[in-house]
Amino acid sequence: MREFGDFDFIIVGAGSAGCVLANRLSAGGAHKVLLLEAGGADTNIWIHIPLGYGKLFADPSVNWMFETTPQRELHGRKIMQPRGKVLGGSSSINGLVYIRGQKEDFDAWRAQGALGWGFDDVLPYFKKAEDQARGANAYHGDDGPLPVSDQREPHPLCDAFIAAAQECGYPANDDFNAAVQEGAGYYQTTSRKGVRVSAAVAYLNPIKSRRNLHIETKAHVTKLVIRDGAVTGIEWRAGDENFFANAGAEVILAAGAIGSPQILELSGVGDGEHLRRAGVETLVDAPGVGAHLQDHLQVRVVCRAAKPVTFNDDMNNPLRTAWIGLLYLAQRKGPLTVSAGYAGGFFRTTPTAPSPDIQVHFINYSTTKMGDKLHRFSGFTASSCQLRPQSRGECHIVSPDPYAAPAIDPNYLGCDLDRRTNVAGIKLLREILHAPSLAPFVEREAEPGEGVRSDEDILDYCRARGASLYHPTCTARMGDFPDAVVDSRLRVRGLRKLRVVDGSIMPSVVSGNSHAAIVMIAEKASDMILEEVKNAGEAEVRK
């Protein structure tokens, strides 16, 4: 075991949260920071091209390529669960959509014991992170590191979708991240001038030269070093060598909703029975570690287009494909600038729903599943996602081997409400797709097809074709639950000098894409950590 050195802070994971932490904690030069990332540098060209996310779903050089356990309510299928294994983490391979969630999400966190995490508490940190292309206002900031931009160009199909939603009685909405989330419109993205801006590009690239910041890639963390109830350092493997480093202040896990509970359990922190079965000695019995996993399930409706206006048409024509490439190279415009959600919206499936319970992603192409080649026919896709699933699953290690993938069980469609809401989501999509503004573009429904009409048949389609929207959260929950893993300052209960700062600490999943909320969590955590360090220093001086 080779000693790597002494640091004030050691951060595990250079993803959406870890990059923020590395930037903020190393600012000013007072603290020595080590950032460890299991993946490599973000040099893959497809990372930086927005539509390139489709190329990254099956690329093990930047993707952990996880999959779930067989899902009982999805006909026993294993569901792809991509997670970023590269600088920037999943923000380097995601669909770029910038959605914060609903005000009610964060107020619910506060009600569940996460003091200081209500909407009014977290809004300043969303604004602090943001470089909003439209400028600052009561809900947005424009001098933060993370660019948030409008789509480069409108598209006739997306315009028709927004108009069709209005014809069905749903409002238009040009800002899903302001006072009201409900309605249909274009999504904003974490990009600038047609190029993806990951957390690594936004937060790490400008400060990599700081002398007090050390970034290690290809560093696979194997365990925490725990002595006398405190975490004093970290162990990892790089190539054929094992390393350890000491943390004077604390270790911060930012390895995500899969990686953080995995590292905790490998270190003996978790449910004693799970650890015993995995062959790991229990040091801290923490039943909440790896429990309560939530993820968004999406189910798609695919239409054959009556007009050749889809991305399928472009990519199935060699000349048009070449033109698209040249257009992007010359102007950073065209289809390659499009995110995973071009347009979409947030809708209520019942009039009595207190807030939108369905998110729709609308895109001008179609494929059998994410990562596959586009269909040969002209096609486009609308997907429905239940925003607040009630089903909860789990994520646990299966052995002491740090390289063994954990067992990931989101328990999709595990309760009746989730099944009913997903059926209602497909009905809502069909209502919009049959509205007058979209009618000229629709030749026919390809999936699930007009023959799938009854609630039972629609539910069976959801079970056969439902897939992850890639937002795993809640596996190290914050709050006053009996099995909460962290307190409101994200300190791990039962241990000193250890924090978790990533999507795993959410008490419940946010109503939308998760990247923006995770960046916010890290911004707020950075302030809390620095405040505690300052207070401790002042207390020491007073002695």
243-300, pLDDT tens digit by residue? 999 999 999 999 999 999 999 999 999 999 999 999 999 999 999 999 999 999 999 9
CATH of the domain at 239: 3.50.50.60
Q: Are residues 138 and 250 in the same domain?
A: yes
> DSSP labels for 44-112?
-HHHHSGGGHHHHTT-TTTB--EEPPPBGGGTTB--EE--B-BTTGGGGTS--B-----HHHHHHHHHT
The pTM of the full predicted model, rounded to 2 decimals, is 0.97
Q: Are residues 94 and 200 in the same domain?
A: yes
Q: Which residues contact 102 (CB under 8 A, 6 or more apart)?
A: 181, 355, 356, 387, 510, 511, 512
Q: Are residues 425 and 520 in the same domain?
A: no
Confidence at residue 538, expressed as pLDDT on a 0 to 100 scale? 59
Q: Are residues 397 and 358 in the same domain?
A: no
* The total number of structural domains that make up the chain: 2
Q: Are residues 50 and 175 in the same domain?
A: no
pLDDT digits over 389-439, tens only?
Answer: 999 999 999 999 999 999 999 999 999 999 999 999 999 999 999 999 999
CATH of the domain at 450: 3.30.410.40
Q: Are residues 334 and 405 in the same domain?
A: no
Which of the residues are catalytic?
Answer: 471
Q: Which among 465, 496, 528 is the end of a domain? A: 465
Q: Are residues 461 and 498 in the same domain?
A: no
Q: Are residues 487 and 437 in the same domain?
A: no
Bridge-based pairing of strands 269-270 and 284-285 is: parallel
pLDDT of 541 over the 60 cut: no
Domain that holds residue 112: 1-147+189-294+393-411+472-543
pLDDT of 27 over the 90 cut: yes
- Chain CA centroid to CA 278, Å: 28
Q: Are residues 34 and 136 in the same domain?
A: yes
Confidence of residue 539 (pLDDT cuts 50, 70, 90): low
Mean pLDDT of the chain: 97
Confidence at residue 65, expressed as pLDDT on a 0 to 100 scale? 97
Q: Are residues 477 and 507 in the same domain?
A: yes
- What average pLDDT does range 122-127 have in this prediction? 99
Q: Are residues 216 and 358 in the same domain?
A: no
Q: Which among 465, 484, 506 is the end of a domain? A: 465
pLDDT of 537 over the 80 cut: no
pLDDT digits over 150-164, tens only?
Answer: 999 999 999 999 999
Q: Are residues 110 and 249 in the same domain?
A: yes
pLDDT digits over 448-498, tens only?
Answer: 999 999 999 999 999 999 999 999 999 999 999 999 999 999 999 999 999
97 half-sphere exposure, CB direction, 13 A CA radius? 27
Q: Which among 465, 482, 502 is the end of a domain? A: 465
Confidence at residue 251, expressed as pLDDT on a 0 to 100 scale? 99
pLDDT of 543 over the 60 cut: no
